[in-house]
Amino acid sequence: MDEGPLFNRIAVVGVGLIGGSLGLACKRVNACREVVGVSRPQTLSEAVRIGAIDSGVDYPDIADGIAGADAVFLCTPISRILSLIEEVIPHAGAGTLVSDVGSTKAQIVAKAGQIGRADVHFIGGHPMAGSEKSGVTASDPFLFQNAIYVLTPAPGVSESVQERFIAFVRRIGAQPVVMPPETHDRVAAAISHLPQMIATALVGMVGHLDEGDGRFLRLAAGGFRDLTRIASSPYDMWRDICATNGPVLREMIDRYVRCLQELQERIGEDALGEDFGYANRVRGSIPKDSKGFLHALHEILVVAEDRPGVIADIAGALAGEGINLNDIEVLKVREGEGGTLRLGFDTRQAAERAIEILSRKGYSVRWR
Ligand code: NAP
């Protein structure tokens, strides 16, 4: 397989968490020869220092930044991506691939279509990987590893341009999924935007109940904390998501309210058991890896005591035998008692070997 660079020069506009990670990932896997950043000067110096970009220019010089780039990635908040499209597409060289990483797609792809340059190819993108941190200092060369990367080509983008982008996405370790932008926004509204609203509403409701009482939050551990983890998300990114996917999100909230009302009506009836049964089956069929990748990992569960170094002990034992651990998640922790770790492996053989190795070391291990 040819592992030479897929692009000569890429430009990353907005070198934050996603833009910086894109630069680092490109360098790690030799996806391009050169990465040029467009950002504020202090961001650029930090990005050069950590190796996310080779050089950079401030926003007023954006035309210089994208000159000679064969691919331009717009990695700012969505509201800024919308205005950048107007600045970038007219200045891009003929044949340039322009993409973005915004969490909604329909308005962005429509905007690119309005500029109407047939010799500049726009393919919207949404790498479904992130972190609670932001800014270039949080960049991670492995952020896209095994993540779904949705591609939403503008009408008329040729197969060969799409193939090149798909090869790039695979090269940085992600799993490309091509779909129309409207489909992306509908799916994202159901599986990401609605859950954010539910978490925000639920924590808000319990917060109000707790005021002047204190017992609600005191008891809110375990399931409540798991279900509402995303209620800690900063509003900045969500403002843009709500502004650009409002109608679909409202529709999903309506559907959800109807579902809750139906459950409410069935409380105390056996029919409620059917709802639980259906939800159990659907939940069981969701791909189990943490980044939502398509291929199922082979997973095992390890019961580990709560002591310093236990994860290092497990990972070290596997590494010592040349077993590559693809995913790790702490499922349950009881302070002082230990918890359960989920380990994911690419192949069944690797998982079987891991069971052998860890059992020999005295861990309680089973298939998930
Ligand atoms: P981030 O870490 O805050 O980075 C965004 C960068 O954009 C900043 O470092 C900033 O660099 C630049 N920028 C330009 N105009 C800006 C403005 N008006 N406000 C704030 N920053 C501005 O954010 P991110 O997490 O990388 O997100 C970037 C894009 O990726 C968003 O469109 C988001 O929807 C999408 N996305 C995020 C995630 C996630 O989980 N974080 C996942 C997938 C997609 P300068 O200060 O140098 O201008």
Domains, the chain, ranges and CATH?
7-179 (3.40.50.720), 184-285 (1.10.3660.10), 298-367 (3.30.70.260)
Share the mean pLDDT of the chain: 92
Closest atom of ligand 1 to CA, residue 127: 43
User: What spacing in Å lies between the alpha carbon of 15 and ligand 1's midpoint?
Assistant: 8
Is the pLDDT at 200 greater than 90? The verdict is: yes
| Average pLDDT, integer, range 229-248 | 94
| Average pLDDT, integer, range 170-193 | 97
Closest atom of ligand 1 to CA, residue 59: 48
Per-residue confidence (pLDDT) for residue 295, from 0 to 100: 43
| Average pLDDT, integer, range 357-362 | 93
Single out the residue of 345, 292, 1 nearest to residue 148, CA to CA.
292
CB 73 within 8 A of CB 100: yes
CA atoms within 13 A on the CB side of 97: 28
Q: Is any ligand 1 atom within 6 A of the Cβ of residue 78?
A: yes
Closest atom of ligand 1 to CA, residue 76: 7
Is the pLDDT at 290 greater than 50? The verdict is: no
Q: Is any ligand 1 atom within 6 A of the Cβ of residue 239?
A: no
What does the alpha-carbon distance between residue 363 and residue 357 come to, in Å, rounded to a whole number? 9
H helix intervals, 245-347: 246-266, 271-284, 310-320
Place of tokens 């924590």: 203
CB 359 within 8 A of CB 343: no
pTM for this prediction: 0.83
Per-residue confidence (pLDDT) for residue 338, from 0 to 100: 58
Task: Give the helix/strand (H/E) hosting 19.
Answer: helix 17-29
Task: Give the helix/strand (H/E) hosting 18.
Answer: helix 17-29
User: What spacing in Å lies between the alpha carbon of 84 and ligand 1's midpoint?
Assistant: 13
pLDDT band at residue 298, thresholds of 50, 70 and 90?
confident
Closest atom of ligand 1 to CA, residue 134: 2
What does the alpha-carbon distance between residue 365 and residue 362 come to, in Å, rounded to a whole number? 9
Per-residue confidence (pLDDT) for residue 368, from 0 to 100: 76
> Percent of the chain beyond pLDDT 90?
76
User: What spacing in Å lies between the alpha carbon of 18 and ligand 1's midpoint?
Assistant: 7
Is the pLDDT at 19 greater than 90? The verdict is: yes
Q: Whose CA is nearest to atom 9 of ligand 1?
A: 16
What does the alpha-carbon distance between residue 160 and residue 163 come to, in Å, rounded to a whole number? 5
What does the alpha-carbon distance between residue 197 and residue 217 come to, in Å, rounded to a whole number? 19
Percentages helix, strand, coil for the chain (3-state, rounded to 5) are: 50, 20, 30
CB 216 within 8 A of CB 206: yes
Is the pLDDT at 365 greater than 60? The verdict is: yes
Closest atom of ligand 1 to CA, residue 103: 34
What does the alpha-carbon distance between residue 89 and residue 141 come to, in Å, rounded to a whole number? 27
The better pLDDT of the pair 308, 127 is held by 127
Instruction: Give per-residue pLDDT as tens, 271-288.
Output: 999 999 999 999 998 876
Instruction: Give per-residue pLDDT as tens, 50-61.
Output: 999 999 999 999
Q: Is any ligand 1 atom within 6 A of the Cβ of residue 173?
A: no
User: What spacing in Å lies between the alpha carbon of 225 and ligand 1's midpoint?
Assistant: 27
Task: Give the helix/strand (H/E) hosting 122.
Answer: strand 121-127
Per-residue confidence (pLDDT) for residue 297, from 0 to 100: 63
Per-residue confidence (pLDDT) for residue 307, from 0 to 100: 82
Closest atom of ligand 1 to CA, residue 130: 40
Is the pLDDT at 346 greater than 80? The verdict is: no
What does the alpha-carbon distance between residue 94 and residue 306 come to, in Å, rounded to a whole number? 59
Q: Is any ligand 1 atom within 6 A of the Cβ of residue 47?
A: no
Residue 121 token pair: 């190819």
Per-residue confidence (pLDDT) for residue 360, from 0 to 100: 93
pLDDT band at residue 293, thresholds of 50, 70 and 90?
very low
Per-residue confidence (pLDDT) for residue 333, from 0 to 100: 57
CB 171 within 8 A of CB 143: no
Q: Whose CA is nearest to atom 38 of ligand 1?
A: 130
Closest atom of ligand 1 to CA, residue 104: 34
- Residues whose CB is less than 8 angstroms from the CB of residue 308 and which lie 6 or more positions away in sequence, other chains included: none
Single out the residue of 52, 354, 295, 312 nearest to residue 173, CA to CA.
295
Q: Is any ligand 1 atom within 6 A of the Cβ of residue 245?
A: no
pLDDT band at residue 292, thresholds of 50, 70 and 90?
very low
Q: Is any ligand 1 atom within 6 A of the Cβ of residue 39?
A: yes
Q: Which amino acid is it at 67?
A: A
What does the alpha-carbon distance between residue 361 and residue 344 come to, in Å, rounded to a whole number? 19
Per-residue confidence (pLDDT) for residue 329, from 0 to 100: 80
What does the alpha-carbon distance between residue 218 and residue 5 come to, in Å, rounded to a whole number? 54
Is the pLDDT at 232 greater than 50? The verdict is: yes
| Average pLDDT, integer, range 297-310 | 82
User: What spacing in Å lies between the alpha carbon of 78 and ligand 1's midpoint?
Assistant: 8
Q: Which amino acid is it at 208?
A: H
SS3 217: helix
CB 302 within 8 A of CB 330: no
- Residues whose CB is less than 8 angstroms from the CB of residue 359 and which lie 6 or more positions away in sequence, other chains included: 365
Instruction: Give per-residue pLDDT as tens, 64-113.
Output: 999 999 999 999 999 999 999 999 999 999 999 999 999 999 999 999 99
Is the pLDDT at 8 greater than 60? The verdict is: yes
Give the Cβ contact number of residue 63 at 10 Å: 14
> Percent of the chain beyond pLDDT 70?
95
- Residues whose CB is less than 8 angstroms from the CB of residue 201 and which lie 6 or more positions away in sequence, other chains included: none
pLDDT band at residue 156, thresholds of 50, 70 and 90?
very high
Q: Is any ligand 1 atom within 6 A of the Cβ of residue 203?
A: no
pLDDT band at residue 128, thresholds of 50, 70 and 90?
very high
Task: Return phi, psi of residue 271, to 5°.
Answer: -55, -25
What does the alpha-carbon distance between residue 354 and residue 325 come to, in Å, rounded to a whole number? 9
